[in-house]
Structure 1
Amino acid sequence: MTIQRRIPQRGSAKVKRTLGVQGALEWAFRVEQAQLELPPPKDVVEEGFGFGLEYVLLQRALLGCKVDGGQHKMGSYTHPDAEVIAAAVAGMPDSLGGIRMAIQVAELARAGMTPDWMPGVVPRCVPLETKNNQHGERAKTIVVGAERVKTRGKWRTVDLLACPVTWRPHPEQIASARRGYEDWWQALDWVRDGLIVGKMLREVDVSTTMPRMRPWKRSQ
């Protein structure tokens, strides 16, 4: 009895690229130059726009159709997976920032950047105002009262001076920057879950890898 083995032909199946969601976004927007297809404002009704891009992509996937390249590239090719990723970002729910967050996610990915959470920044107590004279930079002072003092046997009235101070950067500025980073992280988490569950990508596998949720915790 002769046993024959079937040897799979090379190139019969494409090996998918595995990327974290941040890497997938940067590939789609920075490398493939995918564009956001944002819906028109709610108070604007445009003829011919009955469905969002996400709906169209979903229907094409169900029908087994190939997703066309982006219309904004004027004849150049945009990978279909990049279009799907852009469509997922465009569908950002209002609870995560909606269109504003979608634009931020796309632009940061296009620049290969993450939100500035002000790493290593520590608030410092500094004079509110300074001035320069022959002795260099000096803090500005204000008169906050007067006091009678006796000098060389005579009573004199002298001003009581104080230096107004402030915190730079203000702790609230740092807290705000880090809240912005957390909002961005939550948006990426939503996009990642949607791409994994949707299974619409043909040549890219989105892994569960995420940027650090609170990188400042580690730095502290």
Structure 2
Amino acid sequence: MSMQRRIPRAGGTRVKRALGVQAALEWAFRVEKAQLELPPPQDVSEEGFGFGLEYVLMQRAALGCKADGGQHKMGSYTHADAEVIAAIVAGMPDSLGGIRMAIRVAELARAGLTPDWMPGAMPRCVPVETRRNQHGERAVTEVVGTERVLHRGRWRSVDVLVCRVTWRPHPEQIKSARRGYHNWWQALDWLQDGLATSGMLREVEVTAPMPKVRPWGN
């Protein structure tokens, strides 16, 4: 994905570049190399609901004092809108994961990735342990007791064998991956609303398209 540094004007009016929230995040962190500058922790006596727009406004004011428009790049330009996006990500509310989620959102955007929700994963019952010999791969069994059986008119003692099994991938592993995706999606939903309504982006317009809320379809 690429974006011009300067967005042309049409009839004297600035034309904004429309981007979905995920594309806007990837532009800010991957293309513009914006850095996630996290604010200091709140006073422990305060209720933690993120850092709000006050911090973002402070970041914007700081940006206005920079000759090259960027706080973090040495000798190169970081678009001011990218810095604002990074500042709003840093204000992720605690109810959505706070600083931890802000870091995750930024890292995924910088890598151009979507959280792995384990597409196509289906739990299968498989042996806990297998061994391979000249006859192929076989499940490992163990003796758990003996039984007496009547065979051809004679009583014999035979071993009772069991094969220990497990689920792979485990259903809880799949649930955890999809819960992580859903938490990321909720964070992007909050960011989409904040970026679209903040009025702080000068050359970028964050539009409504979002990643699928449940790509696994059930």
Task: Report the TM-score when normalising by structure 1.
Answer: 0.83
Cα offset, 1:67, TM superposition: 6.8
Shift of 1:208: 1.2
Alpha-carbon deviation of 1:13? 2.3
Q: Which residue of 2 aligns with 1:3?
A: none
Correspondence for 2:108: 108
The DSSP-based 3-state class of the residue aligned with 1:208 is coil
Whole-angstrom CA distance in 1 between matches of 2:139 and 2:209: 49
Which residue matches 1:18? 18
Report the equivalent of 2:153.
153
Q: How many pairs are equivalent?
A: 200
Q: How does 1:58-97 map to 2 (within 5 A)?
A: 60=61, 66=64, 68=66, 69-97=69-97
> Judging changes above 3 Å, is the alpha-carbon distance between structure 1 residues 146 and 67 closer, same or farther for their aligned structure 2 residues?
farther
Shift of 1:154: 2.5
- 1:164-175 equivalence runs, <5 A: 164-175=164-175
SS in 2 for 1:214: coil
Q: CA deviation at 1:11?
A: 6.1
Aligned residue number for residue 46 of structure 1: none
State the AA in 1 paired with 2:87: A
The answer for the alignment partner of 1:33 in structure 2 is: 33
Distance (whole Å) between structure 1 residues aligned to residue 186 and residue 10 of structure 2:
40
Distance change (3 Å), C-alpha of 1:67 and 1:214:
farther
Q: Structure 2 CA distance, aligned partners of 1:26 and 1:114? A: 11
Matched AA of 1:57: Q
User: Quick check: 1:35–1:70 contact (8 Å CA) kept in 2?
Assistant: no
- Contact 1:37 / 1:53 at 8 angstroms: preserved in 2? no
Mark the structure with the bigger radius of gyration: 1
2:59 is aligned to 57
Q: Which residue of 1 aligns with 2:206?
A: 206
Give the gaps of 5 or more residues in structure 2.
1-8, 44-52
Could you tell me how far 1:137 is from its partner in structure 2?
1.1
The residue aligned with 2:193 is 193
Q: Who is 1:47 aligned against?
A: none
Moved more, 148-157 or 79-88: 148-157
1:163 aligns with 2:163: yes
Q: Are the counterparts in 2 of residues 39 and 52 from structure 1 also a CA contact under 8 Å?
A: no
Give deviations 1:14-62, integer Å, cap 9, x for gaps. Answer: 211001100100110011000001123458xxxxxxx97414036x39x
Residue 151 of structure 1: how far off its partner (Å)? 2.7
Change (3 A) 1:92 1:10: closer
Q: CA RMSD in A?
A: 2.4
User: Aligned partner of 1:149: which letter?
Assistant: V
Structure 2 residue 120 is the aligned partner of structure 1 residue 120: yes
Report the equivalent of 2:3: none
Task: Give the letter for the 1:124 counterpart.
Answer: R
Which deviates more from structure 2 when the two are superposed, residues 103-112 or residues 140-149? 140-149
Give the TM-score, by structure 2 length.
0.84
* 1:136 counterpart residue number: 136
Q: Secondary structure at the match of 1:73?
A: coil
Whole-angstrom distance in 2 between the partners of 1:152 and 1:211? 68
For structure 1, which runs of at least 5 residues remain unmatched after alignment?
A: 1-8, 44-50
